[in-house]
Structure 1
């Protein structure tokens, strides 16, 4: 079998999905021939250097079917004369009865286009995210007869209906996911639990080389030397920035600190307004979206990293935020919450500090403890780096993925 893999992505490139870019580059370096198929065009104004290192060509499906009606119509006419069309349609109808939405029609239309314009030489389809990309992959697989697999992450697991996940797991050759909680949830829905695999993303430790500089011994007592807190993440509900701002406002008035927040997102205006109401706006710098090298520079300037992850109202949550792994790799101690896979990286009091989600008082206490104790920060940061470099090297996850693909190709 030709070892060319079509990788289906929701959007590419994306600043917030460096873990996917890192995996794509790792797979290329391991010898896989990739072609990237994106359901959306990029919206970020910047891109990470890693995106320029990935050689795979990128194909864009119509994001909205009405924007490219002739392309969609040609694909539909082509599909009608393929036996697999009716297999896909037979799956689409019950899906539509449970989820009657424009989104469901869009995914079937995108699958028709993907099948009609199938990348030359590709003998496998792998979808990143088990929600909408996996829907397109499932339909396209039925039309083309080409097997598919899936990487599941966080939001896609926890905001998808159980019936939808169960059907995809039943028909995918295998699926991987990146946290123990997600792994257990998917295995509980799978007809063949052994086909669900746990694979931590890990980090490209060459790109995040050890930081040999010194950090400040600021303890919050000198207004001229405030403790610098870094936080990186999109301004969305599950990141818990409201909780972080409320916790910062609870810190003693005389404690010297400042926050640099990196990331875009629709909730930024509300967060800035909240900071004003809480009286802490003058201590916060909102940096917006930054490229990876700029984020790395912040990790090395900062004294402390904070991320107040929580479960959103619709069930969305982080898996294991890559930014926590990145910060830890730079000896930057992290204060976060016990949500999802975070305790799989951080053990409270050993290599970071963890508090319950949506608890500003507990978060404020942990922040105050770390701000006021530079020796503790040093101890936690060193332990965090040791853990990441020992257990979260991305070569392990790349090797596992390559091994799964190799097993399938040996069967063919």
Structure 2
């Protein structure tokens, strides 16, 4: 393989994205492991900043038409080519079957993007790999059928828990043009997907892990040792302002903290609930203790973690079933010896045993307020748990084992049939 003739096409929802550092980390590691690939993005970037990881990637990035009507000439030319491909009729049949069960414009857009992808893939492409089981996997699947190529996916959180059951099953069955393999980043998610597959071995548990070479060594002293008596107890959260992150419950918890506790909270991340949450903070009387920093790159995130006393992520299950998997920000906090307060949702207990590596609280405001109060009053015990979390991170959640397993899977996927 050479950089000019990629054997693998990687389909992502958007590139680059600040909120998906785990994807950038994986792709850089795969490139360094010798994989040649192109990235095909369904959307153009919207973030104004980039992570240093994005600049390390050498792969070519190509953008599919985000909305079909914006580039009709490209779409129709691609469809003419796609219609002559060996698997077009079958891909069209399957798409029509899917559309009958999921009548929306997004499903139509997926097929149009798949036509462009199938038409424009380099001739020597041997396989497709999609990040996220929903939209990117649908585009990859339709295109793979058209080109008679194997495909695979990596599933994470929302894509698992909000996708229709029929769609997940069909993407995991050999007789419905399912993936050669599916990787997912939590044991919780892997168990769910294996129940839907015709072969449990089709689903791999591959933790993202953390590439600790990208992070500074933790401070020699813990946050509590560095804080002056007059300084507030400083909490930080990193996560999109969406329902499943539970920040509305956290704001209600802040309003219940004892008046004797001097505290401040910094939030990092974008998201659609910013207006509602800032208004909630004003109504709760805590707005003057909150800093909303918006989207930040990774060096800024790590700097904020090193200045904080507690990392808080009050995840919960959203009304539509969406939930976190195992958020990488928990591991990033552990890398800096920052104590952690979270909730026992989804795969978070796979990394944090409450009372050992951090504190897991119910996502109830009163419970969160009580946990914050106890943590602030017991810095020595809290710092001991932070050390335990970092030890677990380094011993069990390094990046390399997962990358080695994924690399082998992708290498096998891309082997020519006649090799």
Contact 1:306 1:334 in 2 (8 A): yes
Query: Which residue does the alignment assign to 1:177?
Result: 184
Equivalent runs, 1:325-344 vs 2, <5 Å: 325-344=331-350
**Which of the numbers 152, 157, 167 marks the counterpart of 1:154?**
157
Contact 1:262 1:290 in 2 (8 A): yes
Query: Which residue does the alignment assign to 1:285?
Result: 291
Query: Which residue does the alignment assign to 1:363?
Result: 368
Gap runs ≥5 in structure 1: none
The reply to whether residue 217 of structure 1 matches residue 214 of structure 2 is no
The reply to whether residue 354 of structure 1 matches residue 360 of structure 2 is yes
CA shift, 1:408, in A, is: 3.6
Residues of 2 paired with 1:408 and 1:82: CA distance?
21
Contact 2:7 2:414 in 1 (8 A): no
Equivalent runs, 1:178-327 vs 2, <5 Å: 178-217=185-224, 222=229, 224-327=230-333
Query: Which residue does the alignment assign to 1:116?
Result: 119
Residues of 2 paired with 1:229 and 1:336: CA distance?
12
Residues of 1 paired with 2:266 and 2:140: CA distance?
39
Contact 2:13 2:136 in 1 (8 A): yes
CA shift, 1:3, in A, is: 6.6
The 3-state SS of whatever aligns with 1:252 is coil
The 3-state SS of whatever aligns with 2:130 is strand
Residues of 2 paired with 1:256 and 1:264: CA distance?
26
Contact 1:219 1:372 in 2 (8 A): no
User: 4+ residue runs of structure 1 moved beyond 4 angstroms?
Assistant: 218-222
CA shift, 1:399, in A, is: 0.6
Deviation track 1:288-315 (CA, whole Å, cap 9, x = no partner) reads 1001001011111111100100111111
The 3-state SS of whatever aligns with 1:259 is strand
Residues of 2 paired with 1:3 and 1:73: CA distance?
25
Residues of 2 paired with 1:243 and 1:232: CA distance?
15
Q: Please tell me the root mean square deviation across aligned C-alpha atoms, in Å.
A: 1.6
Contact 1:35 1:119 in 2 (8 A): no
Residues of 2 paired with 1:317 and 1:51: CA distance?
26
**Which of the numbers 398, 404, 412 marks the counterpart of 2:403?**
398
The 3-state SS of whatever aligns with 2:43 is coil
Contact 1:203 1:392 in 2 (8 A): yes
Contact 1:238 1:311 in 2 (8 A): yes
Q: Normalized against structure 2, the TM-score is what?
A: 0.95
Aligned length: 410
CA shift, 1:217, in A, is: 2.9
Residues of 2 paired with 1:265 and 1:102: CA distance?
23
Deviation track 1:103-161 (CA, whole Å, cap 9, x = no partner) reads 11100000000011113532110000000001001100110111100000000000000
**Which of the numbers 79, 99, 102 marks the counterpart of 2:102?**
99
Contact 2:342 2:360 in 1 (8 A): yes
Deviation track 1:187-212 (CA, whole Å, cap 9, x = no partner) reads 11111111111111001100123213
Contact 1:338 1:355 in 2 (8 A): yes
Equivalent runs, 1:13-92 vs 2, <5 Å: 13-92=16-95
Query: Which residue does the alignment assign to 1:7?
Result: 10
Deviation track 1:320-367 (CA, whole Å, cap 9, x = no partner) reads 01111100111111000011010001000001000123x111111111
Residue 155 and residue 95 in structure 1: after superposition, are their counterparts in 2 closer, same or farther (change >3 A)?
A: same
